[in-house]
Amino acid sequence: MPSDNDQRERRQRTTGNRTGSARAAVKPHKRTSDASAAQAPSGNAAAKPQAQAQQQAPTQGTLDVSAILTAWVNSLGGARLNQTYLGSSLSKKLDQAARSFGIPKGESAFLVLDATIFGTCKAGLALCSKGIYLRDTAGTQDAISWTKLPATKLGADAQSLTIGKHKIVTVDGIAVGKLLATIQKAIAG
């Protein structure tokens, strides 16, 4: 079990300014105990709702997706991505990806991998604020939350990307696989 200092250092590494479109919420497994709500003074009206909110919501951490994406793009050097959209090119694929991958309204997307030849987004994935939304090459749609990613098996080669039981045929498999492995390590701590 990690010491209080280890937990504090991990929180400092993963927390920060929570504004900005490139910050994804990652919910740790630890929940606030009921004892902390019982300690709140009952006469203080502001303390009651705060204690109730602490009881209902888990402690929030953040995953800085923008920093991870920036480091990943820099690591690519001159390598060209054929089927991956991020930054200003992302807006071209967002509507198609939302329909094909089942991205809920209000979800912020940071990257879309369109693994189709004609650019229809009928297979691929999207990295979003709450996790990964995908449709594999067989047509199966799934969502993997950021909290479940550390326990998910990843694999990649020159022709495909494997996330858990889903295989996506793509020429960007190795590059996107490295990105997912980096995110997986960042979440696991």
DSSP state of 58: P
pLDDT-based confidence at residue 88 (cuts at 50, 70, 90): confident
The residue to which tokens 């490295």 are assigned: 178
Which two tokens mark 29?
Answer: 């497994």
Asked if residue 110 lies in contact with residue 128, where contact means CB atoms within 8 angstroms, the answer is yes
pLDDT-based confidence at residue 176 (cuts at 50, 70, 90): very high
Query: d(Cα 11, Cα 62) in Å, to the nearest integer?
Result: 9
pLDDT-based confidence at residue 64 (cuts at 50, 70, 90): confident
Give me the amino acid identity at 47: A
Residues 6+ apart with CB under 8 A from 160: 137, 167, 168, 169, 170, 173
- Asked if the model's pLDDT at residue 102 lies above 80, the reply is yes
Give me the amino acid identity at 164: G
Query: d(Cα 43, Cα 50) in Å, to the nearest integer?
Result: 13
Q: State pLDDT tens for residues 131-168.
A: 999 999 999 999 999 999 999 999 999 999 999 999 99
Position 2 scores a pLDDT of 53
Helix (H) or strand (E) holding 167: strand 166-169
Greater model confidence, 112 or 13? 112
Query: d(Cα 35, Cα 176) in Å, to the nearest integer?
Result: 43
Give me the amino acid identity at 43: G
Which two tokens mark 75?
Answer: 């690591």
Choose the most confident range, by mean pLDDT, from 14-18, 35-39, 77-81, 122-126.
Answer: 122-126
